[in-house]
Amino acid sequence: MEGIVKVDIISDVMCPWCIVGYKRLETAINEMGLQGKVQIEWHPFELNPNETEEGEDSRKHMERKYAMTPKESREFQTQITSLAKEVGFTFDFDKCTRIVNSRDCHILLQFAKEHGRQTELKIRFFTAHFSEGKNVADRKQLLKEVEAVDLNAEEAYARLNDESAVDQLREEERHWQQAGITAVPTMIFNGLPRLIGAQPVDEYKRLLKRLTAKK
């Protein structure tokens, strides 16, 4: 669509940098008055595909996976909480204490895209997990989040039990892996360029200014 910037965001609900990156992008869009001129589509990336519904203690997870010391994991949580607050998102690590499997989240995000509610559901999942400490691997909880963005819970439940939806998810994940995506968030603007990680607001502004400049 002419005049529209398409942003593909490859991310995982379990990734704290993903919500910080999105909120910074959103800040740039709002401050530049580009609402309605940036089209966002979310794509799946599972940081922990073998994780269970019960999950793992988040600090122990960071210490195990990223070789952090207990002090470093605490410092990271303090840092990310402060950075998120700057762009209007709340982390509550007293409530958010588990890293869980996110596969069902990704399946429901595909469902939400078909109904024009993908970004709303993505933010709802981030909020439920990081701000409210809810278990977003629990299907009963997921259906409550679906209803919170005015989607049909029965249809969502049917999608979760559709094996073809799992196949579709795996196919899309393979696509992005084959495209060289190894870290999240990765944002791809109009096909190129791609930005990896949560960039500063001014970086998003510079890129959006270039992409929306009149030729």
Ranges of H-type helices in the chain: 16-31, 58-65, 70-86, 103-114, 118-126, 139-148, 153-160, 163-178, 201-212
Q: Which amino acid is at 188?
A: I
What's the pLDDT score for residue 2? 62
Q: Work out the number of other CB atoms within 10 angstroms of the CB of residue 205.
A: 19
- Longest CA pairwise span in the chain (Å): 53
Task: Give the phi and the psi of residue 41 in degrees, each rounded to 5.
Answer: -130, 130
d(Cα 134, Cα 116) in Å, to the nearest integer? 24
* CB environment 96-134: b (16+ within 10 A), e (fewer): bebbbbbbbbbbbbbbbbeeebbbebbbbbbbbbbbeeb
Give the pLDDT confidence score for residue 193 in this predicted structure. Answer: 87
Element (H, E) at 98: strand 98-99
Cα separation, 2 vs 185, in Å, equals 26
pLDDT tens, 106-126? 999 999 999 999 999 999 999
Q: Say if residues 197 and 23 touch (Cβ distance below 8 Å).
A: no
Question: In this structure, what token pair is assigned to residue 103?
Answer: 């596969």
pLDDT, tens digit, for every residue of 134-169?
A: 999 999 999 999 999 999 999 999 999 999 999 999
* Residue 1 confidence (pLDDT): 52
Cα–Cα distance for residue pair 169/175, rounded to 1 Å: 10
pLDDT in tens, 162-205: 999 999 999 999 999 999 999 999 999 999 989 999 999 999 99
**Contact assessment for residue 51 and residue 118, using Cβ atoms and an 8 Å cutoff:** no
The structure's pTM equals 0.96
Identify the residue whose tokens are 């701000």: 131
> What is the structure's pLDDT at 215?
44
How far, in Å, CA of 26 to CA of 144, rounded?
A: 25
**Average pLDDT across the chain, whole number:** 96
Taking Cα atoms as reference points, which of 188, 193, 162, 163 lies closest to residue 175?
Answer: 188
Please measure the distance between the N-terminal and C-terminal CA atoms of the chain and give it in whole angstroms.
16
Tokens representing 110 are 């595909």
Domains along the chain with CATH numbers? 5-212 (3.40.30.10)
